[in-house]
Amino acid sequence: MTKDPNKIESLFSALPKTIKIIGKQVTRSYTVKWQREGAEDFHGSRFVFVLKTDENEEKHTNPAM
């Protein structure tokens, strides 16, 4: 853990905004909403995130089958 405000700011700005979960048959994309301090579900917690499902979903096909 660090208490240096400059380091905290640089780490917060480097957090991912979107992520992809790549499964065997389906790849799903999520938008990540980061909060410095929890205001909704986890009030007072630091660096809370909420995942929002993107509409585009990729389905994989297996040509070997």
Residue type, 40: E
| Entry pTM | 0.57
**Phi, psi (rounded to 5 degrees) for 9:** -65, -40
> 23: which 2 tokens?
């499964």
Cα–Cα distance for residue pair 43/49, rounded to 1 Å:
12
The three-state secondary structure class of 29 is strand
Contact 29/22 with Cβ under 8 angstroms? no
Summarised one tens digit per residue, pLDDT across range 27-47 is 888 888 887 766 666 655 677
Mean pLDDT across the chain: 76
Half-sphere exposure (CA, 13 Å, Cβ side) for 9?
3
Whether the pLDDT of residue 62 is over 60: the answer is no
Q: How confident is the model at residue 22 (pLDDT cuts 50, 70, 90)?
A: confident
Q: What is the pLDDT of residue 37?
A: 67
